[in-house]
Structure 1
Amino acid sequence: MEISNKLLCLFSADVSDEGDSYIIEIPRREVETGSVREGESYRVALISTETDESTDEEIPDEPQPPVEPGEIRYVEIEDIGKQGDGIARVERGYVIIVPDTDIGDRVKVEITEVKSNFAVGGPLSETH
């Protein structure tokens, strides 16, 4: 999370219910020793005390695989790999390796393994 250089103070406080409004109390030390002045207006930002790990992670430079383990897909086998497995291509040319298939097969597969540049899918049924 980026914090602006214009930040005057940072503290923890509870929100209290005061009838028609809610109050966040500013600690006395922020007024007495900080840059906050009584009677002035300020913009306030609230930061959750719960941390969300996904927001702390950096966005990867490379696109993520377009499939996930357990996902069911219909694919068409376009090629045969060096070990005799069928090869299908999906979004952005991403390769799915499907054993026991032939070129031209349209196969329903369950993705069992996902790597950055290919996935392996087990055939569930096939239609020629």
Structure 2
Amino acid sequence: MIEISDSLRSLFSAQIEERDGSYIVDVPASEIEHDALAADETYRVAILKSESST
């Protein structure tokens, strides 16, 4: 079982996309709009394998 830190600010699903030789994870606008995240901050990110392929 995975332990989730009490400092978790956001949890969402996204696909990793390749763009111009880099890999991108798009953050949903709702995470910014609801003050879970800010565009000018740096965050630690964890990647968990999805149970489904979609």
User: Secondary structure at 2:11's aligned position in 1?
Assistant: coil
Work out which structure has the larger RCO, using CA pairs closer than 8 Å and 6 or more positions apart in sequence: 2
Residue equivalent to 1:8: 9
* 1: CA distance, partners of 2:46 / 2:13: 12
Q: Which runs of 5+ in 1 are unaligned?
A: 52-128
The structure richer in strand per residue is: 1
What is the aligned-residue RMSD (CA, Å)? Answer: 1.4
* 2: CA distance, partners of 1:46 / 1:4: 14
Q: Look up the equivalent residue of 1:21 and give its one-letter code.
A: S
Structure 1 ranges of 4+ moved more than 3 A: none
Residue equivalent to 1:36: 37
The 5 Å alignment of 1:55-70 reads none
TM-score by structure 2 length? 0.84
What's the CA shift for 1:39? 1.2
Q: Look up the equivalent residue of 2:48 and give its one-letter code.
A: I
What's the CA shift for 1:45? 0.3
> Number of paired residues?
51
Structure whose CA Rg is larger: 1
* Mapped pair 1:47 → 2:48: yes
The 5 Å alignment of 1:1-128 reads 1-50=2-51
Q: Which runs of 5+ in 2 are unaligned?
A: none
TM-score by structure 1 length? 0.38
